[in-house]
Amino acid sequence: MNTHTHPFVGRLLLPGAKLGAASVFLGSAASAGQILSIGDMNSSYNRNIWWMSIAVIVMAIVIFIGVSYALFYTVNKFREDKHTAEPDQFHGNNRLEQLLIGVPVIIVTIITILAARTMAIVNPTPTDALHVNVTGAQFWWAFEYPNSPLQGGTGTVLNGNELVIPAGRQVAVTVTAKDVIHAFWAPNLGGQRDAIPGSKKTFQIDTDRPGVYQGNCSVLCGASHANMRFKVVALPKAQYDTFIAAAQSYKAPAPASASERNGYNIFMQGKASAGAAPCSSCHRVQGTPAAGQVGPDMSFFGSRNTLGAGIWEGKEREAHIQPWIKHCAAVKPGCLMPAYPNLSDQDLGDLEAYILSLKLPDAAAYWGKVPVR
Ligand code: HEC
Ligand SMILES: [Cu+2]
Protein backbone atom coordinates (compact mmCIF):
# COMPACT_ATOMS: atom_id res chain seq x y z
CA MET A 1 0.00 0.00 0.00
CA ASN A 2 1.71 3.20 -1.09
CA THR A 3 1.22 6.24 1.03
CA HIS A 4 1.82 9.73 -0.22
CA THR A 5 2.03 12.84 1.85
CA HIS A 6 0.12 16.04 1.28
CA PRO A 7 2.16 18.28 -1.01
CA PHE A 8 -0.63 20.66 -1.77
CA VAL A 9 -1.67 24.01 -0.42
CA GLY A 10 -5.41 23.38 -0.48
CA ARG A 11 -5.79 22.46 3.16
CA LEU A 12 -8.49 23.49 5.51
CA LEU A 13 -8.57 22.82 9.19
CA LEU A 14 -11.98 21.54 10.08
CA PRO A 15 -13.27 23.63 12.93
CA GLY A 16 -15.40 22.04 15.61
CA ALA A 17 -19.08 22.28 14.85
CA LYS A 18 -19.95 25.89 15.48
CA LEU A 19 -23.36 27.33 15.00
CA GLY A 20 -24.70 30.80 15.40
CA ALA A 21 -26.63 32.12 18.36
CA ALA A 22 -29.30 29.54 17.57
CA SER A 23 -27.40 26.86 19.39
CA VAL A 24 -25.38 26.37 22.43
CA PHE A 25 -22.73 23.89 23.28
CA LEU A 26 -21.69 22.28 20.03
CA GLY A 27 -18.24 23.84 20.11
CA SER A 28 -16.24 20.84 21.13
CA ALA A 29 -16.90 18.25 18.45
CA ALA A 30 -14.27 15.55 18.63
CA SER A 31 -13.51 15.99 14.94
CA ALA A 32 -11.83 19.34 15.63
CA GLY A 33 -8.49 19.45 13.88
CA GLN A 34 -9.17 16.74 11.32
CA ILE A 35 -7.66 17.85 8.05
CA LEU A 36 -9.72 18.27 4.92
CA SER A 37 -7.33 18.24 2.00
CA ILE A 38 -7.92 18.25 -1.73
CA GLY A 39 -4.18 17.59 -1.90
CA ASP A 40 -4.44 14.14 -0.34
CA MET A 41 -2.43 12.19 -2.90
CA ASN A 42 -3.75 8.84 -1.71
CA SER A 43 -6.79 9.37 -3.90
CA SER A 44 -6.37 8.70 -7.61
CA TYR A 45 -8.88 11.44 -8.35
CA ASN A 46 -6.81 13.97 -6.43
CA ARG A 47 -3.62 12.72 -8.09
CA ASN A 48 -5.06 13.18 -11.57
CA ILE A 49 -6.26 16.68 -10.77
CA TRP A 50 -2.90 17.49 -9.18
CA TRP A 51 -0.86 16.48 -12.23
CA MET A 52 -3.12 18.47 -14.49
CA SER A 53 -2.77 21.45 -12.18
CA ILE A 54 1.02 21.11 -12.27
CA ALA A 55 0.97 21.24 -16.08
CA VAL A 56 -1.23 24.34 -16.07
CA ILE A 57 0.82 26.02 -13.33
CA VAL A 58 4.05 25.39 -15.26
CA MET A 59 2.50 26.91 -18.37
CA ALA A 60 1.35 29.90 -16.34
CA ILE A 61 4.86 30.42 -15.00
CA VAL A 62 6.36 30.25 -18.50
CA ILE A 63 3.76 32.75 -19.74
CA PHE A 64 4.43 35.06 -16.82
CA ILE A 65 8.16 35.02 -17.49
CA GLY A 66 7.63 35.50 -21.24
CA VAL A 67 5.25 38.42 -20.82
CA SER A 68 7.45 40.08 -18.17
CA TYR A 69 10.46 39.70 -20.41
CA ALA A 70 8.62 41.20 -23.40
CA LEU A 71 7.42 44.08 -21.26
CA PHE A 72 10.83 45.00 -19.86
CA TYR A 73 12.48 44.46 -23.21
CA THR A 74 10.17 46.85 -25.06
CA VAL A 75 10.15 49.45 -22.30
CA ASN A 76 13.90 49.42 -22.30
CA LYS A 77 14.47 49.23 -26.02
CA PHE A 78 11.97 51.89 -27.08
CA ARG A 79 12.37 54.33 -24.25
CA GLU A 80 13.02 57.97 -25.11
CA ASP A 81 16.64 58.77 -25.84
CA LYS A 82 17.69 62.41 -26.14
CA HIS A 83 20.58 61.60 -28.43
CA THR A 84 18.71 59.94 -31.22
CA ALA A 85 16.08 61.15 -33.57
CA GLU A 86 12.42 60.45 -32.90
CA PRO A 87 11.78 56.72 -33.52
CA ASP A 88 9.68 55.58 -36.47
CA GLN A 89 5.99 56.03 -35.79
CA PHE A 90 3.81 53.20 -36.94
CA HIS A 91 0.58 51.52 -36.07
CA GLY A 92 -0.81 48.14 -36.96
CA ASN A 93 1.54 45.16 -37.07
CA ASN A 94 -0.02 42.14 -38.70
CA ARG A 95 2.63 39.71 -37.62
CA LEU A 96 2.41 40.80 -33.99
CA GLU A 97 -1.37 40.67 -34.03
CA GLN A 98 -1.37 37.20 -35.54
CA LEU A 99 0.99 36.06 -32.81
CA LEU A 100 -1.11 37.64 -30.08
CA ILE A 101 -4.15 35.74 -31.35
CA GLY A 102 -2.41 32.51 -32.29
CA VAL A 103 -0.37 31.93 -29.15
CA PRO A 104 -3.30 32.29 -26.67
CA VAL A 105 -5.44 30.06 -28.88
CA ILE A 106 -2.75 27.39 -28.72
CA ILE A 107 -2.42 27.79 -24.94
CA VAL A 108 -6.16 27.59 -24.33
CA THR A 109 -6.39 24.56 -26.64
CA ILE A 110 -3.69 22.77 -24.68
CA ILE A 111 -5.49 23.50 -21.39
CA THR A 112 -8.78 22.29 -22.90
CA ILE A 113 -7.15 19.05 -24.02
CA LEU A 114 -5.59 18.52 -20.61
CA ALA A 115 -8.93 19.15 -18.88
CA ALA A 116 -10.87 16.88 -21.26
CA ARG A 117 -8.25 14.17 -20.85
CA THR A 118 -8.41 14.38 -17.05
CA MET A 119 -12.21 14.23 -17.14
CA ALA A 120 -12.04 11.20 -19.40
CA ILE A 121 -9.76 9.52 -16.86
CA VAL A 122 -11.65 10.31 -13.66
CA ASN A 123 -15.27 10.16 -14.82
CA PRO A 124 -15.93 6.69 -16.26
CA THR A 125 -16.95 4.05 -13.72
CA PRO A 126 -14.43 1.19 -13.62
CA THR A 127 -16.10 -2.20 -14.05
CA ASP A 128 -14.79 -3.48 -10.71
CA ALA A 129 -15.93 -0.43 -8.73
CA LEU A 130 -17.96 -0.84 -5.56
CA HIS A 131 -21.36 0.82 -6.00
CA VAL A 132 -22.89 2.92 -3.24
CA ASN A 133 -26.06 4.99 -3.42
CA VAL A 134 -25.85 8.21 -1.47
CA THR A 135 -28.96 10.16 -0.52
CA GLY A 136 -28.77 13.55 1.15
CA ALA A 137 -31.69 14.65 3.33
CA GLN A 138 -32.21 17.48 5.78
CA PHE A 139 -29.79 17.02 7.62
CA TRP A 140 -28.25 13.60 7.30
CA TRP A 141 -26.93 11.04 4.80
CA ALA A 142 -28.18 7.60 3.79
CA PHE A 143 -25.65 5.15 2.36
CA GLU A 144 -26.97 2.12 0.52
CA TYR A 145 -25.02 -0.83 -0.86
CA PRO A 146 -27.25 -1.89 -3.78
CA ASN A 147 -25.15 -4.97 -4.59
CA SER A 148 -25.10 -6.28 -1.02
CA PRO A 149 -28.54 -7.83 -0.47
CA LEU A 150 -29.57 -8.88 3.00
CA GLN A 151 -29.31 -12.58 3.62
CA GLY A 152 -32.69 -14.24 3.69
CA GLY A 153 -34.60 -10.99 3.59
CA THR A 154 -35.56 -8.12 1.40
CA GLY A 155 -33.52 -4.99 1.05
CA THR A 156 -29.84 -4.22 1.02
CA VAL A 157 -27.22 -3.08 3.49
CA LEU A 158 -27.82 0.50 4.66
CA ASN A 159 -25.96 2.78 7.00
CA GLY A 160 -26.61 6.29 8.24
CA ASN A 161 -24.00 9.06 8.23
CA GLU A 162 -21.05 6.67 8.14
CA LEU A 163 -19.85 5.30 4.82
CA VAL A 164 -17.67 2.22 4.99
CA ILE A 165 -15.53 1.53 1.91
CA PRO A 166 -12.57 -0.68 1.02
CA ALA A 167 -9.24 1.10 0.61
CA GLY A 168 -7.48 0.60 -2.71
CA ARG A 169 -10.67 0.19 -4.74
CA GLN A 170 -12.70 2.69 -6.73
CA VAL A 171 -16.07 3.44 -5.18
CA ALA A 172 -18.77 4.62 -7.57
CA VAL A 173 -21.13 6.81 -5.58
CA THR A 174 -24.50 7.62 -7.10
CA VAL A 175 -25.67 10.81 -5.49
CA THR A 176 -29.21 12.09 -5.09
CA ALA A 177 -31.33 13.96 -2.52
CA LYS A 178 -34.70 13.58 -0.85
CA ASP A 179 -35.78 17.14 -0.26
CA VAL A 180 -33.56 20.06 -1.25
CA ILE A 181 -30.20 20.31 -2.99
CA HIS A 182 -27.25 19.09 -0.95
CA ALA A 183 -23.71 18.27 -2.04
CA PHE A 184 -21.56 15.29 -1.21
CA TRP A 185 -17.93 16.10 -0.54
CA ALA A 186 -15.16 14.13 1.14
CA PRO A 187 -12.18 16.20 -0.07
CA ASN A 188 -9.47 13.66 0.76
CA LEU A 189 -11.17 11.05 -1.39
CA GLY A 190 -12.04 12.99 -4.53
CA GLY A 191 -14.37 15.54 -6.02
CA GLN A 192 -17.68 16.96 -5.05
CA ARG A 193 -21.15 16.34 -6.49
CA ASP A 194 -24.42 18.11 -5.99
CA ALA A 195 -27.15 15.89 -4.57
CA ILE A 196 -30.29 16.94 -6.42
CA PRO A 197 -33.81 15.54 -5.88
CA GLY A 198 -34.88 13.52 -8.92
CA SER A 199 -31.40 13.39 -10.39
CA LYS A 200 -28.77 10.69 -10.02
CA LYS A 201 -25.12 11.41 -10.66
CA THR A 202 -22.38 8.85 -10.39
CA PHE A 203 -18.76 9.64 -9.76
CA GLN A 204 -15.77 7.97 -8.17
CA ILE A 205 -14.05 8.35 -4.84
CA ASP A 206 -11.12 6.28 -3.61
CA THR A 207 -8.13 6.17 -1.33
CA ASP A 208 -5.10 3.90 -1.05
CA ARG A 209 -4.71 4.67 2.61
CA PRO A 210 -7.05 3.11 5.21
CA GLY A 211 -8.42 5.64 7.66
CA VAL A 212 -11.40 7.65 8.81
CA TYR A 213 -12.07 10.65 6.62
CA GLN A 214 -14.34 13.62 7.07
CA GLY A 215 -17.12 14.55 4.66
CA ASN A 216 -19.53 17.47 4.58
CA CYS A 217 -22.61 18.71 2.82
CA SER A 218 -21.25 21.58 0.76
CA VAL A 219 -24.34 23.33 -0.54
CA LEU A 220 -26.37 25.50 1.83
CA CYS A 221 -29.46 23.41 2.53
CA GLY A 222 -31.06 24.86 5.64
CA ALA A 223 -30.55 25.60 9.32
CA SER A 224 -28.27 22.65 10.01
CA HIS A 225 -26.35 22.63 6.76
CA ALA A 226 -23.11 22.95 8.73
CA ASN A 227 -24.20 19.99 10.86
CA MET A 228 -24.75 17.72 7.90
CA ARG A 229 -21.51 15.83 8.03
CA PHE A 230 -20.46 12.28 7.47
CA LYS A 231 -17.52 9.97 7.98
CA VAL A 232 -15.92 7.74 5.40
CA VAL A 233 -14.22 4.75 6.96
CA ALA A 234 -11.80 3.19 4.48
CA LEU A 235 -10.89 -0.30 5.64
CA PRO A 236 -8.25 -2.68 4.30
CA LYS A 237 -9.95 -5.03 1.84
CA ALA A 238 -10.15 -8.06 4.13
CA GLN A 239 -11.70 -6.01 6.92
CA TYR A 240 -14.16 -4.46 4.51
CA ASP A 241 -15.18 -7.92 3.32
CA THR A 242 -15.74 -8.98 6.92
CA PHE A 243 -17.84 -5.88 7.57
CA ILE A 244 -20.06 -6.22 4.53
CA ALA A 245 -20.61 -9.95 5.00
CA ALA A 246 -21.59 -9.38 8.64
CA ALA A 247 -23.86 -6.50 7.63
CA GLN A 248 -25.59 -8.70 5.04
CA SER A 249 -26.32 -11.46 7.55
CA TYR A 250 -26.89 -9.10 10.49
CA LYS A 251 -29.92 -9.54 12.69
CA ALA A 252 -30.30 -7.10 15.55
CA PRO A 253 -29.57 -8.82 18.87
CA ALA A 254 -32.67 -9.41 20.99
CA PRO A 255 -32.99 -7.09 24.01
CA ALA A 256 -30.85 -8.56 26.76
CA SER A 257 -32.16 -6.78 29.87
CA ALA A 258 -35.40 -5.34 31.20
CA SER A 259 -34.16 -1.90 30.30
CA GLU A 260 -33.35 -2.84 26.72
CA ARG A 261 -36.69 -4.62 26.46
CA ASN A 262 -38.59 -1.49 27.48
CA GLY A 263 -36.48 0.48 25.00
CA TYR A 264 -37.28 -2.07 22.31
CA ASN A 265 -41.01 -1.86 23.00
CA ILE A 266 -41.07 1.93 22.79
CA PHE A 267 -38.92 1.81 19.67
CA MET A 268 -41.30 -0.61 17.95
CA GLN A 269 -44.68 0.47 19.30
CA GLY A 270 -44.24 3.93 20.74
CA LYS A 271 -45.80 4.79 24.06
CA ALA A 272 -49.38 6.01 23.83
CA SER A 273 -49.48 7.30 27.43
CA ALA A 274 -46.59 9.66 26.61
CA GLY A 275 -47.90 10.58 23.16
CA ALA A 276 -44.81 8.92 21.68
CA ALA A 277 -44.95 7.69 18.09
CA PRO A 278 -42.98 4.52 17.34
CA CYS A 279 -39.38 5.12 16.27
CA SER A 280 -39.76 2.19 13.89
CA SER A 281 -41.99 4.21 11.56
CA CYS A 282 -38.92 6.24 10.58
CA HIS A 283 -35.93 4.06 11.45
CA ARG A 284 -35.00 0.63 10.15
CA VAL A 285 -33.40 -2.02 12.34
CA GLN A 286 -32.42 -5.13 10.38
CA GLY A 287 -33.89 -8.31 11.78
CA THR A 288 -36.78 -6.54 13.56
CA PRO A 289 -40.14 -5.25 12.30
CA ALA A 290 -38.68 -1.71 12.21
CA ALA A 291 -38.48 -0.80 8.53
CA GLY A 292 -38.89 2.99 8.32
CA GLN A 293 -36.46 4.91 6.15
CA VAL A 294 -37.49 8.48 6.93
CA GLY A 295 -34.48 8.79 9.25
CA PRO A 296 -31.02 7.18 9.39
CA ASP A 297 -30.78 3.40 9.47
CA MET A 298 -30.32 2.24 13.07
CA SER A 299 -29.39 -1.42 12.43
CA PHE A 300 -25.93 -1.14 13.98
CA PHE A 301 -26.17 2.24 15.64
CA GLY A 302 -24.23 0.81 18.61
CA SER A 303 -21.25 0.20 16.32
CA ARG A 304 -21.25 3.73 15.01
CA ASN A 305 -19.28 6.55 16.56
CA THR A 306 -21.24 9.64 15.54
CA LEU A 307 -24.57 11.19 16.42
CA GLY A 308 -26.60 13.80 14.59
CA ALA A 309 -24.79 13.42 11.23
CA GLY A 310 -21.31 13.75 12.63
CA ILE A 311 -21.90 16.50 15.21
CA TRP A 312 -20.81 14.43 18.20
CA GLU A 313 -18.39 11.55 18.44
CA GLY A 314 -17.42 9.02 21.08
CA LYS A 315 -18.20 10.13 24.66
CA GLU A 316 -19.79 13.39 23.50
CA ARG A 317 -22.09 11.30 21.42
CA GLU A 318 -23.28 9.20 24.33
CA ALA A 319 -23.89 12.32 26.39
CA HIS A 320 -26.20 13.66 23.70
CA ILE A 321 -28.35 10.63 22.90
CA GLN A 322 -31.04 11.33 25.50
CA PRO A 323 -31.25 15.11 24.87
CA TRP A 324 -31.46 14.21 21.20
CA ILE A 325 -34.43 11.86 21.61
CA LYS A 326 -36.18 14.23 23.99
CA HIS A 327 -35.95 17.30 21.79
CA CYS A 328 -33.81 16.92 18.72
CA ALA A 329 -34.27 20.46 17.40
CA ALA A 330 -33.01 21.91 20.69
CA VAL A 331 -29.59 20.36 20.13
CA LYS A 332 -29.56 20.44 16.32
CA PRO A 333 -31.28 23.46 14.74
CA GLY A 334 -33.96 22.52 12.22
CA CYS A 335 -33.76 18.81 13.05
CA LEU A 336 -36.73 17.04 11.46
CA MET A 337 -37.08 14.26 14.01
CA PRO A 338 -40.13 14.83 16.25
CA ALA A 339 -39.57 15.70 19.90
CA TYR A 340 -40.47 13.27 22.67
CA PRO A 341 -40.99 15.70 25.56
CA ASN A 342 -43.18 13.39 27.63
CA LEU A 343 -40.95 10.34 27.81
CA SER A 344 -39.62 9.81 31.33
CA ASP A 345 -35.88 9.78 32.06
CA GLN A 346 -36.27 6.05 32.59
CA ASP A 347 -37.76 5.61 29.12
CA LEU A 348 -35.08 7.78 27.53
CA GLY A 349 -32.41 5.75 29.30
CA ASP A 350 -34.02 2.51 28.13
CA LEU A 351 -34.22 3.73 24.55
CA GLU A 352 -30.55 4.70 24.72
CA ALA A 353 -29.67 1.29 26.15
CA TYR A 354 -31.59 -0.41 23.37
CA ILE A 355 -30.15 1.50 20.43
CA LEU A 356 -26.61 1.20 21.83
CA SER A 357 -27.11 -2.57 22.03
CA LEU A 358 -27.54 -2.70 18.24
CA LYS A 359 -24.04 -3.83 17.37
CA LEU A 360 -22.17 -5.69 14.68
CA PRO A 361 -20.02 -8.62 15.85
CA ASP A 362 -16.68 -7.25 17.16
CA ALA A 363 -14.72 -8.67 14.23
CA ALA A 364 -16.92 -6.76 11.78
CA ALA A 365 -17.11 -3.45 13.65
CA TYR A 366 -15.28 -0.74 11.77
CA TRP A 367 -14.51 1.96 14.35
CA GLY A 368 -11.14 2.04 16.06
CA LYS A 369 -9.56 -0.25 13.48
CA VAL A 370 -8.06 2.45 11.27
CA PRO A 371 -6.62 5.83 12.29
CA VAL A 372 -8.51 9.08 12.00
CA ARG A 373 -6.91 11.12 9.20
C1 HEC B 1 -40.98 11.07 11.93
C2 HEC B 1 -39.77 10.31 11.77
C3 HEC B 1 -38.93 9.96 12.97
C4 HEC B 1 -39.32 9.33 14.13
C5 HEC B 1 -40.71 8.88 14.52
C6 HEC B 1 -38.12 9.14 14.91
N7 HEC B 1 -37.05 9.64 14.24
FE8 HEC B 1 -35.14 9.51 14.85
N9 HEC B 1 -34.55 10.58 13.21
C10 HEC B 1 -35.39 11.06 12.23
C11 HEC B 1 -34.63 11.88 11.31
C12 HEC B 1 -35.17 12.60 10.08
C13 HEC B 1 -33.31 11.89 11.78
C14 HEC B 1 -32.12 12.65 11.20
C15 HEC B 1 -32.07 14.04 11.81
C16 HEC B 1 -30.81 14.80 11.53
O17 HEC B 1 -29.70 14.25 11.72
O18 HEC B 1 -30.90 15.98 11.15
C19 HEC B 1 -33.29 11.06 12.97
C20 HEC B 1 -32.14 10.76 13.70
C21 HEC B 1 -32.10 9.93 14.80
C22 HEC B 1 -30.90 9.57 15.51
C23 HEC B 1 -29.48 9.99 15.13
C24 HEC B 1 -28.88 8.98 14.19
C25 HEC B 1 -27.45 9.31 13.79
O26 HEC B 1 -26.71 8.39 13.46
O27 HEC B 1 -27.09 10.48 13.77
C28 HEC B 1 -31.28 8.79 16.56
C29 HEC B 1 -30.35 8.16 17.59
C30 HEC B 1 -32.70 8.65 16.50
N31 HEC B 1 -33.17 9.35 15.40
C32 HEC B 1 -33.44 7.92 17.39
C33 HEC B 1 -34.83 7.88 17.39
C34 HEC B 1 -35.61 7.26 18.43
C35 HEC B 1 -35.05 6.52 19.63
C36 HEC B 1 -36.91 7.45 18.09
C37 HEC B 1 -38.13 7.03 18.86
C38 HEC B 1 -38.22 7.47 20.24
C39 HEC B 1 -36.94 8.17 16.82
N40 HEC B 1 -35.66 8.42 16.45
C41 HEC B 1 -38.09 8.53 16.14
C42 HEC B 1 -36.73 10.77 12.10
C43 HEC B 1 -37.49 10.17 13.07
CU1 LIG C 1 -27.20 19.46 3.03
Percent of the chain past pLDDT 70, that is, above it, reads 91
What fold does the segment set 258-364 form as a domain? Immunoglobulin-like (2.60.40)
Closest to 7 measured CA to CA, from 46, 55, 62: 46
Ligand 1 site: residues with CB under 6 angstroms? 139-140, 160-161, 224, 267, 277, 279, 281-283, 294-296, 304, 307-309, 324-325, 332, 335-338, 340, 351, 355
In the DSSP assignment, the letter for residue 152 is T
Mean pLDDT across 66-75: 93
Mean pLDDT across 105-122: 93
The burial of 157, by beta-carbon neighbours within 10 Å (0-12 exposed, 13-18 middle, 19 or more buried), is given as buried
Mean pLDDT across 234-262: 96
pLDDT band at 3 (very low <50, low <70, confident <90, very high): very low
What's the pLDDT tens digit per position in 281-306?
999 999 999 999 999 999 999 999 99
Please tell me the residue having the least CA distance from ligand 1 atom 14. Answer: 295
When the pLDDT of each residue in the chain is averaged and rounded to a whole number, the result is 89
| CA–centroid distance, residue 59 to ligand 1 (Å) | 52
What's the pLDDT tens digit per position in 313-322?
999 999 999 9
By most ligand atoms within 8 Å of CB, the mutation choice from 285, 297, 313, 337 for ligand 1 is 337
What's the pLDDT tens digit per position in 153-194?
789 999 999 999 999 999 999 999 999 999 999 999 999 999
- The CB-based long-range contact list for 336-340 (8 Å cut-off, 24+ gap) reads 336/138, 336/139, 337/282, 337/295, 338/277, 340/274, 340/276
**Domains in the chain: boundaries:** 44-81+90-122, 258-364
Please tell me the residue having the least CA distance from ligand 1 atom 34. Answer: 279
pTM of structure: 0.86
